[in-house]
Amino acid sequence: MNLKKEFLKRLKKGKFKNIAIIGHSSVDPDSIASSFGMEFIVKELHPTTNVDILVDGVSKHTTKLLSYFEKDYREESNSKYDLIIIVDVNVPSQLGKFSDLIKSHKKESIILIDHHTPTDFEELSVPIQYIEEDRTSTSEMVWELILDFSLKPPVKLLNILLAGIIYDSRRFYTLNQTTLELLNKMFQQGVDYDIAISLIQKKLEESERIARIKCATRIKYEKILDWIIVWSRVGSHEGSSARAILDLGADVALIYSTRSKETRLNVRATNKFHRETEIHFGRDIMKKLSVEFSGEGGGHSTAAALNIPSLINEEQLKRVVFDLIRKYLQETKSEE
């Protein structure tokens, strides 16, 4: 089945009075930009349809973008919807306060667009899941949908979509021909790169700088074959701390944290590590760990996360993770 074709058909052919668009909790620039992009598409196709953007928390990287775009969104909703569009969500727990809304909704009236490694979403039974994990961002996919419908978006929307692409690609840390072609079409329609960059630039706050420093002081590492695998823990800013550890020279940074009765593990790896080992952290590591620890895990090849709804001893989780990575690396070595 052509999932993109099914996705487009569902958007175009349906008759809707009320639609909700939901990104992941604590929305980042990619999640909110793709939400507003989908709202634009829906309103162009169905001008009389009401569209609610539902937001469960805003990340600090996203406040400038929201201030610039000046569009309304809702933080609560008791409404009934003819269609719910989920954007940039990899696992059900990322839906936050809107999980119950999704679970109680008719499954045939839910569609998903995402760029992470596919998960089965069995708990939600979403029938149409348009997922392309080789894309830089969901914003890139939404921009392509806008082109597919031959729509001309306002420049402000183009600018926030570009900001979403820049943010999730880590300023084009990864790039391919498809993305370049889509970016070129953005520039042809008047996107402003300087504005897009400014929307996601922010000075590191003291709490984030301190988290990075604490994380660095707690480093434990192993050299497995030719790779330096680092483990650390921190109370917040896990993704930022992991990126900082890579900048120190690690090939893989694994960051452990806990929240109330939840255990989290974030990972960042270099492109070189993924290219030479073919280990995909979203698929090969986090999804396997989610099964073992009854949690939810997924993500990209070099950036992924695991959420476990219980407190797992740090040394226990570290031992399991390192054993799994070691197994994959040894298997890769034996195949050479």
Least confident stretch, 28-37, 203-212, 248-257: 203-212
As a whole number, the mean pLDDT across the chain is 90
Name the token pair of 224: 């497995």
Q: What is the arithmetic mean of pLDDT over 147-175?
A: 92
- In this prediction the pTM is 0.73
Q: What is the arithmetic mean of pLDDT over 303-307?
A: 91
* Residue 70 Ramachandran class (φ > 0 left, ψ -120 to 50 alpha, else beta): left
pLDDT of 235 strictly over 60 = yes
pLDDT of 122 strictly over 60 = no
**Rounded CA separation 178/132 (Å):** 12
Q: What is the arithmetic mean of pLDDT over 222-248?
A: 94
Name the pLDDT band for 5 (thresholds 50, 70, 90). Answer: confident
Out of 99-103, 211-215, 257-261, 301-305, give the one with best mean pLDDT.
211-215
Q: Would you state the pLDDT for residue 4?
A: 84
Q: Would you state the pLDDT for residue 68?
A: 95
pLDDT of 329 strictly over 60 = yes
Pick 178 or 108 by higher pLDDT.
Answer: 178
Name the pLDDT band for 138 (thresholds 50, 70, 90). Answer: very high
Task: Determine whether 18 is exposed, middle or buried from the number of CB atoms within 10 Å of its CB (0-12, 13-18, 19+).
Answer: middle
Identify which of 207, 209, 229 has the alpha carbon closest to the alpha carbon of residue 219.
229
**Rounded CA separation 133/281 (Å):** 13
pLDDT of 311 strictly over 90 = yes
Name the pLDDT band for 124 (thresholds 50, 70, 90). Answer: low
Q: Would you state the pLDDT for residue 140?
A: 96
Name the pLDDT band for 299 (thresholds 50, 70, 90). Answer: confident
Rounded to the nearest angstrom, the gap between the alpha carbon of residue 323 and the centroid of all alpha carbons in its chain is 27
CATH of 3-200, one of 3.90.1640.10, 3.40.190.10, 1.10.3720.10, 3.40.250.10: 3.90.1640.10
Name the pLDDT band for 121 (thresholds 50, 70, 90). Answer: low
pLDDT of 1 strictly over 70 = no
**pLDDT above 90 as % of the chain:** 65
Q: Would you state the pLDDT for residue 317?
A: 96
For the chain, give every domain's residue range: 3-200, 207-334
Name the pLDDT band for 67 (thresholds 50, 70, 90). Answer: very high
In Å, how far are 7, 28, 131, 179, 303 from 134, measured between CA atoms? 18, 19, 9, 10, 13
**pLDDT above 70 as % of the chain:** 96
What's the topology of domain 207-334?
A: Diaminopimelate Epimerase; Chain A, domain 1 (3.10.310)
Q: Would you state the pLDDT for residue 243?
A: 92
Q: Would you state the pLDDT for residue 251?
A: 97
Q: Would you state the pLDDT for residue 205?
A: 84
Q: What is the arithmetic mean of pLDDT over 69-85?
A: 92
**Rounded CA separation 298/72 (Å):** 30
**Rounded CA separation 142/186 (Å):** 12
pLDDT of 203 strictly over 90 = no
Q: Would you state the pLDDT for residue 120?
A: 63
List, for residues 42-66, the tens digit of each pLDDT value. Answer: 999 999 999 999 999 898 889 999 9
Q: Would you state the pLDDT for residue 173?
A: 75
